[in-house]
Amino acid sequence: MDRDPTLWSATRQAAAIRAGQLTSTSLLEAQLDRIAALDPTLHAVVTLDADAARSEAAALDDLASGGRYQGPLHGLPVTIKDAIEVRGMRSTGGSATLGGHFPMVDAPAVSRLRRAGAVVMGKTNCPEWSADVQTYNRLFGTTNNPWDPSRTPGGSSGGAAAAVATGMTAFELGTDIGGSVRIPSAFCGICGHKPSYGLVPQRGYLDHPGGGTIDVDINVFGPLARSVEDLQLLLDVLAGPLDEDAVAWRLRLPPPRSTAPAEWRVATWDSHPDAPAAADVRTAVRAAGDVLAGAGARVSEDRPAVDMAESSAVFTALLMAAMSPSLEPADGEAFGGSHFAWLTHQERRQLLCRAWSDFFADHDALICPVAPVPAFPHQQEGTFMDRTLDVDGSSVPMAACVAWTGLVGVAGLPATVVPVSFSAGGLPVGVQVVGPRLEDRTPLAVASLLLERCGGWRPPPLP
């Protein structure tokens, strides 16, 4: 792994380019070779513009030869989730309806990556309108998990996670409304960060024909990578107001509450009757707590004063409203509810947010599951609402897959996912490190130490 730059962290790749040890062109070619070798099995990359990427990489190499660099991501070839608009590149949202959609401009977040020096070479698969915890659609087919192709990589940023896990891209930009960055990160054994709501512009998000012009409730754009250091770097590039708002607004994220583990106050929450979790998942949460306690952190089993059933009900109602534009107008109105209903749920959400705020007055982070199980076998019969999961021999609705992610997402909290252990079947198991709203650097700091103490990122067993 140490000799293969495609498996290095993005931070290390960028440093090697600046040191003259690596060129953008050589890294791009190595990643294109990996795509050619691995993607026939994984089906993660759905659009590729190698010629344009080669031209951009060569131009950046010319800059570097003169001692000039575009930015902190100079020369890094990357893919972008297909739910995000990329200028001049087919961007479909996983729907055949947009099979011929070639945006005229980049989503603002993509523009920021380009300004920082990234080379956008392609797009990765997602379910139609990002509306599943698996990744498949009629346009591009099924994306497979790199740890076991018979299983899902998760959704909806499943193609993104599979590409990162296998070194086909330096990093990825995904979206997360119900866990779409966090679940694939956990299932594929990589790192992912769901920023606080509103921190990263989400214009250019394709969740319906004509979409991308407004901010979608609960939804965020977030990075997927092979190290927490990468997530921190990418958050610095991505976060901030839209250009038109930057006339008056500035973002100043606070530093971590502490970088000394002995000063951290961490709670673990591994199970709840309304949010089942398999033994492998519960073990991972407890193991994460033990690792942090071993580093000197004060670890408890304290809980926020949040009713799980109430939180789930509010999340579900607001999620349905947020996703309703992807339906036909009549169905969307019935699915999404009235504005009066939305305001009522918004009031209920504010009570949940207040409870979380009170909790984080005395705690710096919460460790909890991402999903109730590790990556599960592909299930495409019926609908999302019909399907079930096997949780240690018990059948539970597949909707339980978003119980823990929805708990966090509905309150707009930041959460960093890192792999901490493996299941009895050899699949990676990740946990969420949840932090206080707009204090993203705190869960990132905790997650960084956790990843380091748990052995770091490991490549899946593919050639």
pLDDT tens digits, 387-425: 999 999 999 999 999 999 999 999 999 999 999 999 999
| pLDDT digit string, tens, across residues 279-292 | 999 999 999 999 99
Q: Provide mean pLDDT across the span 365-394.
A: 97
Pairing of the two strands 394-397 and 388-391: antiparallel
**Predicted pLDDT at 234:** 98
User: Rounded to whole angstroms, how far apart are CA atoms 17 and 75?
Assistant: 7
Contact between 79 and 225 (Cβ < 8 Å): no
Given a cut of 90, whether residue 463 has pLDDT beyond it is: no
Answer whether residue 333 shows pLDDT above 90.
no
Domains of the chain: 5-453 (3.90.1300.10)
Reported as a single tens digit per residue, the pLDDT across 147-206 is: 999 999 999 999 999 999 999 999 999 999 999 999 999 999 999 999 999 999 999 999
Kindly tell me if the per-residue pLDDT of 334 is higher than 90: no
pLDDT digits (tens, 9 = 90+) for 98-122: 999 999 999 999 999 999 999 999 9
The string of pLDDT tens digits covering residues 25-66 is 999 999 999 999 999 999 999 999 999 999 999 999 999 999
- How much is the pLDDT for 328? 80
pLDDT digits (tens, 9 = 90+) for 61-84: 999 999 999 999 999 999 999 999
Structure token pair of residue 77:
């070839």
Please check whether residue 153 is in contact with residue 135, taking contact to mean a CB–CB distance below 8 angstroms. Answer: yes
Determine contact, residues 445/420, Cβ cutoff 8 Å: no
Give the pLDDT confidence score for residue 291 in this predicted structure: 98
Q: Residue 120: its pLDDT value, please?
A: 98
| 211 pLDDT more than 90 | yes
**Do the Cβ atoms of 183 and 328 come closer than 8 Å?**
no
- Asked if pLDDT for residue 462 goes beyond 90, the answer is no
Q: Which residues are catalytic?
A: 81, 156, 180
- What pLDDT band is residue 1 in, cutting at 50, 70 and 90? low
Dmax (CA) for the chain in angstroms is: 62
- CA-based R_g, the chain, Å: 20
